[in-house]
Amino acid sequence: MNINKIHIFLKLVIIIIKNINSFYELKKIKKRILGKSSYLYINIKKIKFLKKDKKIIFGKLINRSINIIKKNIFLKEKYIKNKFIKKNKKKIFFDVSLQGKKSLKGSIHPISSSISKIENFFYNIGFNIITGYEIEDKYHNFTALNIPKHHPSRNLQDTFWINKNILLRTQTSNVQIHIMKNKNLPIKIISIGKVYRNDNDIKHTPMFHQIEGLIINKKINFSNLKWIIKNFLKNFFNSDISIRFRSSYFPFTVPSAEVDIKEKNGKWLEILGCGMVHPNVLKNMKIDYKKYIGCAFGIGIERLTMLKYGILDLRYFFENNLSFLNKFK
């Protein structure tokens, strides 16, 4: 190990750095000068074989040389950067030393898009849009809606119970009860929000979105309900689709019906339930059922959206997969 050789090496390195004009060249030289196989680091390994007094001398010399080289590289980087900025001052400024960034464009989630379309339709035909509680008691979620105590929807297998009385709502129908209790008649509302059921597969998720519609007035009949549903579905799917009403059963409506649409393969698919509000529900709210009549309908927003866009697995909506979401830009 020779002191003069280290001084000569340092002088040569400084001259080389001064003559560099690009970041690429500087990066290349930096690796050769300060890398693990460089002249200085090879000498560092030899220090342990020297005597104590020489260890101190050469250790200080090599550390000082490394610091001088690093300082010169830093100053050269700054010089090249400023030179580039000065040369391109009339152009849009950007920091050439930063890592490049890719601009990603977002899009409206298909569920949010469907909710917006649904709200616009019902708002334009005179419905008020109401939100409600997602944590509810069993009276508003079940009892007031004429759902009997033995009904399977009350079981732990179907419902997320917080305690014996409080649960995560299983339907947005609970909003109807809160509105009817106010007795501000007539009523014409829709409520849209999250509901929760203990189920999970390609057609069911523990949380999904539902829209519930309710009309209470003196002159309401099943024909009014059919007109609303037919026009809503045609508006949502932007086509004159085939629709049929089938007799069904729901505890809170009588008569009740399920609505099917015909798919491209000719098969019928159930998409929503509806009916005339059961007199017991009106009685529970102390509304004169001989004077006022009601109709109601409930729709799963995910199901409608899957049909509209041809989505096969309900879980895609909740996985935050960009390759899936980017299809809806």
pLDDT in tens, 223-269: 999 999 999 999 999 888 899 999 999 989 999 999 999 888 888 98
Mean pLDDT over 126-132 rounds to: 91
More confident position, 207 or 183: 207
Residue 251, preceding peptide bond in cis (omega within 30° of 0): no
Is the distance from CB of 171 to CB of 197 less than 8 angstroms?
no
The two beta strands, 187-196 and 128-130, are parallel
Quickly state the pLDDT bin for 93 (edges 50, 70, 90). low
Phi, psi (degrees; rounded to nearest 5) at 255 = -70, 160
Mean pLDDT over 48-67 rounds to: 81
**CB burial string 75-101: b at 16+ within 10 A, e below:** ebbeebeeeeeeeeeeeeeeeeeeeee
pLDDT of residue 125: 94
Please report which residue ranges of the chain form alpha helices under DSSP H: 3-18, 23-34, 39-46, 52-87, 110-124, 138-141, 174-181, 222-237, 279-284, 301-309, 322-325
pLDDT of residue 90: 59
pLDDT in tens, 137-185: 999 999 888 888 887 778 777 889 999 999 999 999 999 899 998 878 9
More confident position, 210 or 31: 210
Taking the C-alpha atoms of residue 162 and residue 2, their distance in angstroms, rounded to an integer, is: 79
Question: How far from chain centre, in Å, is Cα 255?
Answer: 38
pLDDT of residue 152: 77
- Select the highest-mean-pLDDT range: 35-39, 63-67, 209-213: 209-213
Q: How many helices (H) and strands (E) does the chain have?
A: 11, 9
For residue 221, what are the contacts with CB-CB under 8 A and spacing of at least 6?
Answer: 276, 293, 295
The rounded percent of the chain whose pLDDT value lies above 90 is 37
Taking the C-alpha atoms of residue 277 and residue 275, their distance in angstroms, rounded to an integer, is: 6
The rounded percent of the chain whose pLDDT value lies above 70 is 95
Residue with tokens 């899957």: 306
Region of 310 (left: φ > 0; alpha: ψ -120 to 50; beta: rest) is left
